[in-house]
Amino acid sequence: MTFKRTELARLRAASLADKLKRERVPERYGRNAAAIGQQRQKEKDEAAIRELVAERETAWNAGDTVAYAQLLTEDADILSASGKAAHGREAVLKLFTEQHAKIFAGVRTNTTVTHVRMIAPGVALADVDYALEGGKVDAIRKGVMAFVLKKDPLGRWKISAIRSAPAR
């Protein structure tokens, strides 16, 4: 079979265009596409988790139970730095309100996510350092928290559990 010059030129142009696509957009073409896509999703999830922890800090500092409730799963639970536990979103919010009226009155927190680990699809663990300012919380001024996070059916990350451990 012989090709005319125009047909050969068209094939060369198509081959060159395909090569350029692979070079410019490697995640769409080639064997690394799936790995690159997974890495990008992990980066997006980690950024969303860091934002969620920042939103929690804002709601906590404002004592805003409505905003705080939006960040929690229905079955959320907590072991507070004060040693108090609560199971279920309503119980967590009740503890949140009680502690902001007493032990955490006048206290502000500063949190920093130090590590995020994807445990399973839609489930993550975040290590968070905290520091408390103001009020009378000398024994629990600094520490670490572990957040278990889950994606809801709409793809938003929510807090499922928090475990706080004051620094010694």
Inform me whether the pLDDT recorded for 1 exceeds 60: no
Q: Give domain status of residue 80, yes or no.
A: yes
Tell me whether residue 20 is in a domain: no
Per-residue pLDDT at 108 exceeds 70: yes
> Is residue 11 in a domain?
no
Domain range enclosing 118: 31-166
Is 90 exceeded by the pLDDT of residue 21? no
Q: Are 128 and 148 in contact (CB under 8 A)?
A: no
Q: How large is the average pLDDT for residues 8-35?
A: 67
The CATH number covering residue 142 comes to 3.10.450.50
In this prediction, residue 15 carries a pLDDT of 72
Whether the predicted pLDDT of 72 surpasses 80: yes
Q: Given this model, what pLDDT does residue 136 score?
A: 84
Helix (H, G, I), strand (E, B) or coil at 54: helix
SS3 14: helix
Residue 40 belongs to a domain: yes
Average pLDDT, the chain: 89
Tally of helices (H runs) and strands (E runs) in the chain? 4, 6
What is the tally of structural domains in the chain?
1
pLDDT of residue 153: 93
- The structure's pTM equals 0.78
- The span from the CA of 38 to the CA of 36, in Å, is 5
CA atoms within 13 A on the CB side of 9: 3
Query: What would the mean pLDDT of 16-38 be, rounded to a whole number?
Result: 67
What's the pLDDT score for residue 74? 97
- The verdict on residue 155 lying in a domain is yes
**What is the pLDDT at residue 128?**
98
pLDDT at position 155: 93
